[in-house]
Amino acid sequence: MRNNDTYTVVYAAGICLISSLLLAVTASGLRQQQERMAESDRKFNVLKSFQADVFRPDGGRIGVEQIEEMYANHVAEGLYSPASGELLDPNKKQEMKSGPVASDALPVYRWTDEGQVSKYAIPISGSGLWGPIYGYLALDRGLETIIGVSFYRHQETPGLGAEIEKSSFTQPFQGQKIFKNDSLRIVEVVKGRVADRYPSGAPGVAVDGISGATITGRGVSTFMTRNLQSYDRVFRALRKN
Residue 42 falls inside a structural domain: no
pLDDT value for 181: 85
Residue 207 falls inside a structural domain: yes
Average pLDDT over residues 7-34: 68
Of 24-33, 89-98, 101-110, 137-146, where does mean pLDDT reach its minimum? 89-98
Model confidence pLDDT, tens digit, residues 121-133: 999 999 999 999 9
Model confidence pLDDT, tens digit, residues 29-57: 667 777 888 888 999 999 999 999 999 99
Average pLDDT over residues 85-109: 69
Average pLDDT over residues 225-234: 95
Average pLDDT over residues 148-154: 92
Residue 32 falls inside a structural domain: no
pLDDT value for 100: 46
Instruction: Name the nearest CA neighbour of 74 among 62, 82, 66.
Output: 66
Residue 56 falls inside a structural domain: no
Residue 120 falls inside a structural domain: yes
Residue 61 falls inside a structural domain: no
pLDDT at 241 over 90: no
pLDDT value for 102: 53
Percentage of the chain modeled with pLDDT above 70: 83
Q: How many CA atoms lie within 13 A of 214 on its CB side?
A: 3
Residue 134 falls inside a structural domain: yes
Residue 17 falls inside a structural domain: no
Average pLDDT over residues 53-67: 92
The count of structural domains within the chain is: 1
* Domain span including residue 182: 75-240
